[in-house]
Amino acid sequence: MKKMWRNILKNRLIVITGPTASGKSDIAINLAKSLESQIISADSQQVYRYMNIGTNKTEDIFEVDHFMIDLINPDQPFSVEDFSREARSLVKKINDNNRIPIVAGGTGFYIDSLIYEMNYGQVKKDQGYRNELQALAIDKGNEFLYKRLSEIDPETAKRYHPNEVNRIIRALEIYHLSGKIPSDIRSGERKLNDNINPLVFFLNYDNRDLLYERINHRVLKMIDDGLVEEVKYLVRKYKLTDKSQSMSAIGYKEVLSFLNDEITYEEMIELIQKNTRHYAKRQITWMKKYLDYGFTHEIKMDKLTKDDASDIILSIIKGAYDL
């Protein structure tokens, strides 16, 4: 049974989410044009400048206003707390201008930070403890910290790559300071954000093979478009390594392994495709929890064009927000 949701709150918010290659960006752009609105990216890799091919920053994004894209250089850290703070401010600002913000992306933590009150963000920081963990990462390797998190909070560890050191350190810091593991805080104490009136559209596929085919095709296109050259440029310009947060992204980490002569060119492509498919599966599992709420609509994309899906979603939006 779906949980009821009050449709009377001030800050409206449209969320277009779904697994990689489900058509989120194109549909969000269609909606932004129809509603004369603006898009907030909820993609943890699109925040990085110059990471364009592997994050699917197409020329279409310049057709409408986009926020939370190209914020920082690839050698800088960025957290879900950074996203939540900036994105919540944007949601209010866009609403104040009589427009409806559209969040588009597949990074579950980012979307959760808008839909829910993320209490772990209120846990303060302990720079001394952070320095201690950073020293351990340098001395014993990223895997050491990742293993420690896996032992303390396996559910949170599953959501991270071992190279996402800053996120792993933050999770360990939360446990150190609060005595609670992040996954318990998320599931046990998490409340819906009372400051927004959301409509979530979950793009999904009944035929998983069709989605995987789209993923495999997208990976080949990224390679053809010059992903390897992009990574070479970033590594040279910013002195990036496999320990850099930005290089933990699928596509980038495999290319880096190829450039370091750890895998062959063919293995690189196969690994990107396989890892992206696995990631899409995790995204679907994550996003299905939104179906418990009355503000979420699942859009089956198997037989729909992007224009068809956009029309269906637009009709629901107009009815829900009385446009």
Predicted confidence band of residue 120 (pLDDT cuts 50, 70, 90): low
Residue 310, Cβ density class (10 Å: 0-12 exposed, 13-18 middle, ≥19 buried): buried
Which of 16-20, 117-121, 202-206, 216-220 has the least mean pLDDT? 117-121
Residue 99 pLDDT more than 90?
Answer: yes
What span, in angstroms and rounded, lies between the C-alpha atoms of 34 and 132?
A: 51
Tell me the whole-structure pTM to 2 decimals: 0.83
Between the two ends of the chain, the Cα-to-Cα distance in Å is 28
Q: Is the pLDDT of residue 2 over 80?
A: no
At residue 187, the pLDDT reads 61
* 157 assigned to some structural domain: yes
Q: What is the pLDDT of residue 5?
A: 45
Q: How confident is the model at residue 188 (pLDDT cuts 50, 70, 90)?
A: low
Confidence bin at 176 (pLDDT 50/70/90):
confident
pLDDT of amino acid 123: 66
pLDDT for 81-93, tens place per residue? 899 999 999 999 9
Residues flagged as binding site for ATP? 18-25
| Alpha carbon 293 to its chain's center | 20
Of 161, 189, 217, the residue at which a domain comes to its end is 189
**CATH at 147:** 1.10.20.140
Which has more pLDDT, 177 or 93?
A: 93
Q: What is the pLDDT of residues 253-294, one digit of tens each?
A: 999 999 999 999 999 999 999 999 999 999 999 899 899 899
Same domain, 106 and 242: yes
Domain count, the chain: 2
What Å distances lie between residue 259 and 9, 95, 134, 230, 298, CA to CA? 51, 46, 26, 12, 40
pLDDT for position 4: 44
> Would residue 63 count as lying in a domain?
yes
**Please, where are the H alpha helices in the chain?**
24-35, 80-96, 108-115, 127-140, 142-152, 154-158, 165-178, 182-188, 208-225, 227-238, 252-259, 265-287, 306-320
DSSP letter for 118, please: -
pLDDT, position 117: 81
Segment 236-245 shows an average pLDDT of: 93
Q: Which residues of 230-248 are buried (b: 16+ CB within 10 A; e: fewer)?
A: bbeebbeebebebebbbbb
Give every CB contact of residue 322 below 8 A, 6+ residues apart in sequence. Answer: none
The confidence score (pLDDT) of residue 134 equals 83
The tokens of 278 are what? 């696995």
Q: Which residues pair with 102 in a beta bridge?
A: 14, 39
- Both structure tokens of 297: 């609509």
- What pLDDT is attached to residue 15? 98
Residue that terminates a domain, selected from 189, 207, 222: 189
Domain end marker among 189, 215, 249 = 189
Confidence of residue 1 (pLDDT cuts 50, 70, 90): very low
Domain identity same for 162 and 72: no
Q: Are residues 175 and 232 in the same domain?
A: no
Q: What is the pLDDT of residue 121?
A: 55
- Paired strand residues for 67: 40
Q: Average pLDDT over the chain, rounded to whole?
A: 91
Structure tokens at 265: 């060119």
pLDDT digits (tens, 9 = 90+) for 130-175: 888 888 888 888 888 999 999 889 888 887 878 788 888 888 888 8
Q: Are strands 66-67 and 39-41 parallel, antiparallel or unpaired?
A: parallel
Name the nearest CA neighbour of 58 among 18, 87, 29, 97.
29
Average pLDDT over residues 186-212: 88
237 and 164 co-located in one domain: no
For residue 158, the enclosing domain spans: 120-189
Read off the pLDDT of each residue in 97-123 and give the average, rounded to a whole number: 86
Q: Is residue 312 part of a domain?
A: yes
Over residues 295-308, the pLDDT tens digits come to 999 999 999 999 99
Binding residues: 18-25
259 shares a domain with 124: no
